[in-house]
Structure 1
Amino acid sequence: MEEYKKRIVKAIQYIDDHLDTDLSLQKVSDIGAYSPFHFHRIFRLITGETVQQYISRKRMERAAFYLALRKQVSLKEIYLQFGFSSHSTFTKTFKNHYGKSPSAFRKSVPENFHQIRLQESKNGQADAVFSSYICNIENLLNWTTMNLKIEVTHLPEMNLAAVMSLGIANVEPAYNVLIRWAEGKHLFPDENVKMISVYHDSFKVTPPDKVRIHACMLLNEKLEKQEGEVFGETIEAGKFIVGSGEVTLHDFEKSWVSLFLWMKENNYSVRKAFPFEIYHTNFKEHPEGKMIVDFCIPIH
């Protein structure tokens, strides 16, 4: 099973990095070093989706992200980029996934894109629904001011050891795998070690049980070779909005939402890179379950 996971991780990374190219089963299975027949079965066993279902979902989620946050990009540019030959085919597929047309989706997503969530309907299909405000934008921005120290800064390149988690429920087991690996390398425990979660999907458009999160540890140098489930990942140097504060696990969603609102209020735009969290303390060691976290958004 370890070898299966290792190859699937490699294939998933390839898919996510090449959504705008032709992703045939043959091509993806070659990356995973299996025959198409065996790869298809193993992929479904591990991810709960067929290869084509995964690719289709990821393309829809990426298209939704572009529609919401890159208003200057036309619908045609978006659907051609993700392999749709016509507006009608793209619209039908998108509507089946999110319950509304791409145009309607874009119009209905001004500043409140963070409110979108996926909900299982009675017939088991995922529909896009818009939740009511838990609190208004002003209250969220006030919460940000009171609880997060925000700065726009340049962060250096970070070399990470990573373990992939598919679904929010699997993040802690992924960290357990990472820690066992680090203990074997005598890298852990160490009070100076930094744990980092890198979000390769957005909860705005991806169901919690499908979100891909990498449980990571900051290293002094690159991890050149994959070792079991542990592989190397690099966060490239660049400009980031960093919101730092002492928060509980229950504050994480509010922290991200308010930080993205702050970004929009201050006219910054997201760069094509992945947001991440840096943990400076462990909530399990705090009497109130608090931890010091940096929430990092890549921007232009």
Structure 2
Amino acid sequence: MTFNQDIPKEYSKSINAVINFIGGNLTEDLSLEKLSSVANYSPFHFQKIFKQVTGESPKQYIVRTRLEAAAHSLIIQLEKPIKEIAIESGFTSGATFARAFKNYFGISAESLRTIPPKKRMELYKKGKKGQQLLDTDRYFKNVASDKKGHKDLHVVVKRVGLISGIFVTSSLEDTQNIENAFRKITQLADVNDLLHDQSMLVGIIYPHQRSYKAMISVKHGIQPASKLFAMEIPASKYATYKIRGDLEETFRTLKIFTEQWLPGSGYRLADIWGFEILSENPANTSYSIIEREMYVPLIPA
């Protein structure tokens, strides 16, 4: 997300840490006390700074993030029950979720799932309060997919081990943002002596959060300095395929994958994000010409 540019850097960094924490713990009890401890401020001071930086209260931000994550799942994970999506998005009950969803989007979760994409776009354009343009649709709306495109993806299902690394978060708007993020994380890894022969360049894609995390893997067991943002990509089974091109190509292939390869494969999506491993560093080479291997988490259908 875009922060208020007039905010002191130390405030932005602390709130960024909280936002990363929220994004990775949506199903947890995200109490004010817990979040303020992540930011290393008193609850009173934290609330004030959070609103100053983001324009929202912590509660407003959490509810919005949970709802947008749920809406993304509703559209992408069509076979998953709505109540299960609600719980996985951090809501304590189906009834609580249903009320919050209707208030935010202006329609029920059931309706959003059944409305065709073109109709959803018309709904968003009405501009009524709460009817936000889902980034899932925004990123995919202009993407055309060849009906036989899945044959060109050469999808391979493989088990991948745990990947640990440090990251910086970038806006998922254009490739220049991604290239700048990799320049920054490469410098941080170098300065902190975290680069090694097997270091991987990883990009984690979160369409529903409008974000891309540029990550460099570190050796297992290494504990990065507390000033760095660290994360782990869980060991799991992933569908993989190789691509090259801009962000539109990324979403074109994801659309082909979810609409054409996934049905009948015996699998369903395990989560609403995916990641890519890049063969070259976007800090030095244009992102669009780099070969990238996409990884989409799977579980049995």
- TM-score norm. by structure 1 comes to 0.75
The amino acid across from 2:69 in the alignment is R
1:54 aligns with 2:61: yes
The equivalent of 2:201 in structure 1 is 195
Could you report, residue by residue, the CA deviation over 1:185-233 in whole angstroms, capped at 9, with x for unpaired residues? 4666x8965311113x3x2xx3xxx5233210122334413453x3222
The 1:103/1:246 distance shift into structure 2, 3 A limit, reads: closer
Contact 1:270 1:297 in 2 (8 A): yes
Query: What is the CA distance between 1:82 and its match in structure 2?
Result: 3.5
RMSD of equivalent CA atoms: 3.8
The equivalent of 1:266 in structure 2 is 265
Q: Please list, as runs of the form range in 1=range in 2, the aligned pairs for 1:33-72 lying within 5 A after superposition.
A: 33-68=40-75, 69=77, 71-72=79-80
1:292 aligns with 2:299: no
The amino acid across from 1:163 in the alignment is V
SS across alignment from 2:30 = coil
Give, in whole Å, the separation in 2 of the partners of 1:176 and 1:232: 17
Q: Please list, as runs of the form range in 1=range in 2, the aligned pairs for 1:179-258 lying within 5 A after superposition.
A: 179-185=186-192, 193-199=199-205, 201=206, 203=207, 206=208, 210-228=209-227, 230-258=228-256
Unaligned ranges ≥5, structure 2? 1-7
The 1:177/1:290 distance shift into structure 2, 3 A limit, reads: closer
Q: Which moved more, 1:31-40 or 1:20-29?
A: 20-29
Q: Please list, as runs of the form range in 1=range in 2, the aligned pairs for 1:62-211 lying within 5 A after superposition.
A: 62-68=69-75, 69=77, 71-75=79-83, 78=86, 82-83=90-91, 87=95, 90-108=97-115, 122=127, 126-128=131-133, 139=146, 141-146=147-152, 148-165=153-170, 168=173, 170-185=177-192, 193-199=199-205, 201=206, 203=207, 206=208, 210-211=209-210
- TM-score norm. by structure 2 comes to 0.75
SS across alignment from 1:159 = strand
Could you report, residue by residue, the CA deviation over 1:74-122 in whole angstroms, capped at 9, with x for unpaired residues? 53883697446673x543421232231112123337xx79x87995755
The 1:175/1:40 distance shift into structure 2, 3 A limit, reads: farther
The 1:84/1:283 distance shift into structure 2, 3 A limit, reads: closer
Equivalent residues, number: 284
* Percent of residue pairs bearing the same amino acid type: 23
Query: What is the CA distance between 1:20 and its match in structure 2?
Result: 3.3
Give, in whole Å, the separation in 1 of the partners of 2:133 and 2:276: 26
SS across alignment from 1:142 = coil
Contact 1:21 1:83 in 2 (8 A): no
Unaligned ranges ≥5, structure 1? none
